[in-house]
Amino acid sequence: MTTETPVELLRFATVGSVDDGKSTLIGRLLVDTRQLFDDQLDAVAEASAKRGVGDLDLSFVTDGLRAEREQGITIDVAYRYASTPTRKFVIADCPGHVQYTRNMATGASTADLALVVLDANQGLKEQTRRHLCIAALLGVRNIIVAANKMDMADWDRAPYDAVVKQIDELGERLGFESSLVIPVSALMGDNVVERSNEESWYEGPTVLEALEQATAGSWSSSNSGARLPIQWVLRQNGGGRTYAGMVNGASLHVGDAVTLLPQNLETTVRAIKGVRGDGSEAAPGLSVDVDLASDTDAGRGDMLATAPLPTVTREIEATVCWFGETPLSTGTRLRLKHTSRTTPARVSDLHGVVDIATLDVAPGEQLAMNEIGLVTIQTAEPLVVDDYRDNRVTGSFVLIDERTNATVAAGMVGHVDFL
Amino acid sequence: MNTPTPTAAVDHLDLLESHAIFILREVAAECERPVLLFSGGKDSAVLLHLAAKAFAPQRIPFPIMHVDTGHNFREVLEYRDQMAEHYQAQLLIAKVQDSIDQGRVPDPGPLGMRNRLQTVTLLDAINAHTFDAAFGGARRDEDKARAKERVLSFRDSFGQWDPRHQRPELWQLYQGKVNPGEHLRAFPLSDWTELDVWQYIQRENVPLPAIYFAHKRPVIKRNGMWLAAGEFVHPVPGEVIERHLVRYRTVGDASCTGAVLSSASTIADIITEISTTNVSERGATRADDKFSETAMEDRKREGYF
């Protein structure tokens, strides 16, 4: 076990419209790679028989809630774990229904890659465009597209070619680095794990092969310096304090010159204690505690950073995806959580609302549920931010309703080129 | 001064551990009164180990609580007390028997299953202590309802989980604010699989109760599961007590947690065993999940772990 070379971890999210077959595809992937235990498979078969939906409704593998099985839709993200000899996968099977866009965004926010599932016979629907747009905003750069239900098209090449053309056009606009389209039948299992015998015109990889070859770990890639948002101050035996948090952006090293922000105090990293003991370096994604060379009065919400330094500001330009049932209007007092700091905030200006169909930005007074807008936000306390495209951790925030504590928006500092 | 050793390559256990520690620190910082639910099982053993690491050299800054069904394995109670002492943690015990004595739940009789009754005891204890967050060792790979749950899972003032209206949870921005009377369940091990837990136990030498390792025990076969014969399970007509080499894959109420036939006596043996098994952890060992298709979802909605 421990002598094996470490396998890479790929986190991916399924995106696409309701009823195009996302959950069925994931069910197929898990069954055909033998990730399910016998009793789990028996339970899916039993539930399928009970509801009269055939021998084995593959969507029941991830649609585990009573309401989901009754309605045949996915309501919330299911997280599943799979491994092959070369890869470990964390799969977020997301809902397709527009009403549950917030849950899709939850699943896609930590994904390295989006697995887009669409019905090849119907082409790219508005909801699929919405999901792709949100995935692109969230920083997903690579997509694999399963052109599904090819069995219904008798494996005719024309609908597949049409999907390729649509995806190429949209992908170029949204700035995806790669977008591979694979003709599949999730129901029959063609080109998911097993290669299809139904067609001879497709020579590319299966869905599983494509997932095994895709770039892993792109979520934490970054153009910023090292960042350590302070979560907790640890008092050491015999006096002294160290600062605990998770490193992001770039590796932090002993001896690094760091700036404590927003105080703007320069100091040096004297020691790094990681979860495996003392080390000279801490990579992004590791929880550490850090000893600084000079005595500082740092606390939760402050940040240690190496050059190039982030911006300290009380006013940010941002892209927000609104999830609240009541529309966002300017001036409303909210709470904003950014890294380990939470502060009162208000949206002072709504510059525009994104039209999902055209990706144009039009003026608007309000932002309704599931709409995306460009805003200016003012905060009571200074924030230490990077542009979201440079660093997903220090460039992201959520907005919180002060009365109910509900999370009502996901925000990204700056805006993407296509808006 | 000692020279720091070069950092070894980061593996997936390092990332899982760091993520769990991040969640523990975040909830401890944002919530007023957290508690760590400790059953003495392997997942809560890992959780306690992580909590100790997250705040070292300080003590764990919240109490640990055992919801005690009264149907316990002796080895697990001893282990629980040892661990509390080892970490100098404040141990609270909430007893299902007290809920029965107070008339809060119907008495299922001395041999009745008490697993579902724990929910009332747990919620009463959370109210009595005004806890606003409870850490649990649940993992998403355990059950299809758990696969749907957020890392920070909101509970209303009735302790209920509403799977249709979960808070969006983007990136690693875990926001844990609740109003008085409401609380959160926090699951730092959400993304761990059973195999990850065992590999981590092996790497960190996390102590475990002896029942996880193969031992001879008198058992009764009931509904396809091997239940420990003894104080809480007696043979009914047609059943016989047999002696087998067994171990437990999970630790729960002794009246409904099954053993598996196994000769795995070390952690390495256990890792080999579960790498090749065809049966899920809960499928092999939990009678209470066999009641209905959505048994776990139904219990969770009421406020179960």
What average pLDDT does the structure give for chain A? 89
In a domain, B4, yes or no: no
Does the pLDDT at position A236 exceed 60?
yes
What average pLDDT does the structure give for chain B? 86
Peptide bond into A159 cis (omega under 30): no
Domain boundaries, chain A: 8-220, 227-305, 311-413
pLDDT at A50: 75
Q: What is the pLDDT of residues B134-177, one digit of tens each?
A: 999 999 988 888 888 999 999 988 888 888 888 899 999 999 88
What is the rounded CA–CA span in Å between residue A147 and residue A143?
12
pLDDT at B107: 79
ipTM computed for the complex? 0.90
Q: Is B27 on the interface with A (CB under 8 A)?
A: no
- CB-based burial of residue A312 (10 Å sphere; 0-12 exposed, 13-18 middle, 19+ buried)? middle
Contact state of B144 with A397 under an 8 Å Cβ cutoff: no
Same domain, residue pair B163 and B28: yes
Same domain, residue pair B150 and B43: yes
Q: What is the pLDDT of residues A63-109, one digit of tens each?
A: 777 777 777 777 788 898 888 888 889 999 888 888 888 889 999 99
Q: What is the pLDDT of residues A123-169, one digit of tens each?
A: 999 889 989 999 999 999 999 999 999 999 999 999 999 999 999 99
Q: Is B111 on the interface with A (CB under 8 A)?
A: no
Q: What is the mean pLDDT of residues A193-212?
A: 92
In Å, how far is B184's CA from the nearest CA of chain A?
A: 12
Same domain, residue pair B173 and B257: no
Same domain, residue pair B128 and B219: no
Q: For A311-413, CATH number?
A: 2.40.30.10
Q: What is the mean pLDDT of residues A325-352?
A: 95
Does the pLDDT at position B288 exceed 70?
no
Contact state of A340 with B6 under an 8 Å Cβ cutoff: no
Give the CATH superfamily of A227-305. Translation factors (2.40.30.10)
Q: Which residue range forms the structural domain that includes residue B38? A: 12-197+295-302
Q: Do domains A227-305 and A311-413 have the same CATH topology?
A: yes
- Contact criterion met (CB below 8 Å) for A132 and A114: yes
Does the pLDDT at position B206 exceed 80?
yes
Q: For A8-220, CATH number?
A: 3.40.50.300
Does the pLDDT at position B296 exceed 80?
no
The interface residues of chain B toward chain A in range 30-89, judged by CB-CB distance below 8 A, are 30, 53-58
In a domain, B103, yes or no: yes
- Contact criterion met (CB below 8 Å) for B150 and B167: yes
Same domain, residue pair B165 and B249: no
Same domain, residue pair B125 and B20: yes
Same domain, residue pair B191 and B217: no
How many Cα atoms within 13 Å fall on the side-chain side of residue A309?
17
Chain B residue with the nearest C-alpha to that of A88: B12
DSSP B46-104: HHHHHHHHHHTTSPPSS-EEEEE-S---HHHHHHHHHHHHHTTPPEEEEEHHHHHHTTS
Same domain, residue pair B47 and B166: yes
Same domain, residue pair B95 and B166: yes
Chain A residue with the nearest C-alpha to that of B57: A236
Chain B residue with the nearest C-alpha to that of A283: B10
Contact state of A398 with B7 under an 8 Å Cβ cutoff: no
Cite the beta strand spans of A113-189 per DSSP E: 113-119, 142-148, 178-183
In a domain, B1, yes or no: no
> Among residues B171, B18, B25, B169, which one has the least CA distance to residue A396?
B171
Structural domains of chain B, count: 2
